[in-house]
């Protein structure tokens, strides 16, 4: 430990040498334990320079991790209705729930494993591991001739999906310039929706192939993992990770790559502001044990509010029931009487993709909070109307088969509400739930993001493993009504507890939750730093 401390001392001298103004600010702020927005803005002046096209290219590469997630959730819907007796017999509804939820279970474990290693080994190593595991799981599923092997493959794929889903948004948020952070993380989510659309289209196409076309649908899923693993060699490590581990020269090189028009003083000041956020914690991420970091989340009230808010929004995104539409969309459309359910399911994936592109444009312009308030209420409305419409569709609850040969207006209304619901979901909480990592203080960001991702997959498990049973037990109207009620509760939470942090440097976001849930404080910060926030949120040039 003494050797490590000596190294830290030398690094601190190297960082501050020749930059007395930044050092004085750090000394002053470290003593007072408070961060003045104006001082922090000066330390982060590099954000006002043009970011390179390379920053966007890096985020695009990392977003291939989102494609893994999207492809997996997209293909299972079509596979469930075309797999037939390929695994020895037709799958019962409980077995469908099992193979669907096993991926979520694997993703839960994968997210935790990634969180345990992210701070010690950086952001890139867990992504490489996720790619390798995903490929193994894909091979197991593609070659499966038994339910047991297919189920194991689903779980193994989940390990890779969960790891990538946890690390990739975290990595992007740490690399992204503040002015593009929302859009770059949103692009990762758009990659998820593209994967879902691509998988749905392939599934619909291979459904008409004689034999076992579903195996091709599953096997193609390995390609994004292979591509991501190869391209990752061209991507740098997160500068925040490099500073935390004392690799200051490498951190400066990464900042130069991201901000080619920046001055040496600006890069050193940015590194100083990152170091400031580390020194504001009682221990750095490098020195803390995992248990101490985990415990600090629950013993520090401000940190607990930050992590809790991110996790609640993530849980809300899953309890909306959206992923039941992705996992069971073909099954659901078959229930309401459509003869070509896999083709109709493409409409769901297509709407999801189109509206996830919309959030790229609006997230940094209108802010996270305003978008959530509008879209979550819209989701509540759509689910309520769908619940009412389902009550007019004659369905045998034992078999979940429609008992009428005609597709009447209730069925069409259900489909319309589902597509509108997806529009609200994809343009709002679907992306903002992952952008929520920006709320988490740096010293616990990896562990906090792990909890956020674990929340995603644990709630996903609940939804995926109970949806068909809920449809049978409390009727489709009851199931959709239940999800509608949760959305209304979430909407109330957003009104009182979700602060607006658009345009804030990550080092400034930590101050928000020092003031309750920080809704009022964040609004005042936005007003007082309007020009700075506007410059970060609506920057026009990203080339140099």
pLDDT in tens, the chain (544 residues): 444 443 444 344 344 443 334 434 433 434 333 444 454 455 556 666 666 677 888 888 998 888 888 888 778 877 887 888 889 888 887 888 888 888 888 888 888 888 777 777 778 888 999 999 999 999 999 999 999 999 999 999 999 988 888 888 888 878 877 677 777 777 887 888 888 888 888 877 787 777 788 898 899 989 999 999 999 998 888 887 888 777 888 888 888 888 887 788 888 888 887 777 666 543 444 445 667 777 888 888 888 999 999 999 999 998 888 877 666 666 666 666 566 666 666 777 788 888 888 877 787 788 899 999 999 999 999 999 999 988 887 777 776 676 666 667 887 888 889 889 989 998 899 889 888 878 888 778 778 878 888 888 888 888 878 887 888 888 888 989 999 999 999 999 999 999 988 877 766 777 888 878 888 888 888 887 766 555 555 443 333 3
Asked if 50-246 and 292-543 have one fold, the answer is: yes
Question: Rounded distance, CA 83 to CA 72, Å?
Answer: 15
Pick the CATH number of 292-543 from 1.10.40.30, 3.30.465.10, 2.70.98.10, 1.20.1250.20: 1.20.1250.20
Question: Which neighbouring-strand residues pair with 395?
Answer: 402
Helix (H, G, I), strand (E, B) or coil at 259: coil
User: Does 50-246 carry CATH code 1.20.1250.20?
Assistant: yes
Neighbours of 496 (CB within 10 A): 9
Question: Rounded distance, CA 231 to CA 530, Å?
Answer: 38
**Sequence-ordered list of residues with C-beta below 8 angstroms from that of 347, at least 6 positions apart, any chain:** 415, 419
Question: Rounded distance, CA 416 to CA 487, Å?
Answer: 19
Helix (H, G, I), strand (E, B) or coil at 538: coil
Helix (H, G, I), strand (E, B) or coil at 402: strand
Element (H, E) at 395: strand 395-396
* Domain range annotation of the chain: 50-246, 292-543
Q: What is the DSSP letter of 92?
A: P
């Amino acid at each position: 430990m003494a050797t490590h401390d000596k190294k830290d001392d030398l690094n601190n001298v190297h960082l501050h040498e020749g930059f007395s103004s930044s050092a004085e600010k750090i000394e002053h702020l470290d003593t007072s334990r408070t961060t003045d927005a104006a001082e922090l803005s000066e330390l982060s002046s590099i954000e006002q320079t043009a970011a390179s096209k390379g920053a966007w290219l890096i985020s695009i590469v990392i977003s291939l991790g989102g494609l893994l997630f999207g492809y997996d959730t997209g293909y299972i819907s079509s596979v469930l209705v075309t797999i037939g007796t390929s695994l020895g017999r037709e799958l019962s509804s409980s077995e469908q729930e099992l193979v669907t939820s096993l991926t979520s279970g694997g993703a839960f474990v994968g997210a935790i494993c990634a969180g345990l290693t992210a701070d010690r080994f950086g952001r890139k190593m867990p992504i490489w591991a996720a790619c390798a595991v995903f490929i193994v799981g894909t091979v197991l599923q593609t070659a499966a001739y038994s339910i047991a092997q297919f189920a194991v493959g689903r779980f193994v794929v989940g390990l890779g999906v969960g790891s990538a889903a946890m690390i990739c948004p975290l990595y992007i948020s740490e690399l992204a310039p503040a002015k593009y952070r929302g859009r770059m993380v949103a692009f990762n989510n758009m990659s998820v929706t593209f994967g879902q659309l691509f998988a749905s289209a392939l599934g619909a196409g291979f459904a008409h192939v004689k034999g076992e076309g579903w195996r091709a649908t599953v096997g193609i899923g390995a390609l994004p993992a292979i591509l991501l693993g190869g391209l990752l060699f061209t991507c740098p490590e997160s500068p925040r990770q490099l500073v935390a581990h004392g690799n200051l020269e490498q951190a400066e090189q990464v900042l130069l790559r991201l901000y080619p028009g920046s001055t040496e003083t600006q890069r050193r000041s940015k590194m100083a502001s990152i170091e400031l956020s580390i020194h504001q914690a009682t221990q750095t991420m490098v020195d803390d044990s995992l248990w101490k970091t985990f415990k600090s989340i629950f013993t520090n009230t401000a940190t607990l509010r930050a992590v809790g808010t991110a996790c609640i929004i993530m849980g809300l995104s899953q309890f909306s029931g959206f992923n039941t539409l992705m996992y069971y969309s073909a099954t659901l459309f078959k229930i309401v009487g459509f003869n070509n359910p896999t083709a109709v399911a493409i409409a769901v994936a297509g709407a999801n993709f189109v509206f996830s592109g919309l959030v790229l444009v609006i997230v940094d312009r209108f802010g996270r909070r305003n978008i959530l308030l509008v879209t979550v209420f819209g989701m509540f409305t759509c689910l309520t109307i769908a619940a009412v419409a389902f009550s007019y569709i004659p369905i045998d609850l034992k078999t979940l088969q429609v008992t009428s040969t005609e597709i009447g207006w209730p069925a069409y209304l259900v489909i319309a509400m589902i597509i509108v619901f997806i529009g609200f979901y994809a343009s709002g909480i679907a992306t903002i739930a992952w952008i929520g990592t920006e709320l988490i203080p740096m010293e616990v960001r990896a562990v906090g993001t792990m909890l956020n991702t674990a929340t995603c997959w644990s709630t996903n498990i609940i939804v995926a493993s109970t949806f068909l049973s809920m449809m049978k037990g409390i009727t489709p109207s009851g199931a959709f009504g239940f999800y509608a009620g949760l959305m209304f509760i979430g909407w109330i939470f957003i009104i009182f507890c979700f602060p607006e942090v658009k345009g804030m440097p990550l080092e400034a976001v930590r101050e928000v939750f020092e003031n309750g849930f920080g809704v009022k404080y964040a609004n005042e910060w936005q007003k007082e730093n309007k020009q700075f926030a506007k410059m970060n949120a609506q920057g026009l040039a990203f080339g140099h």
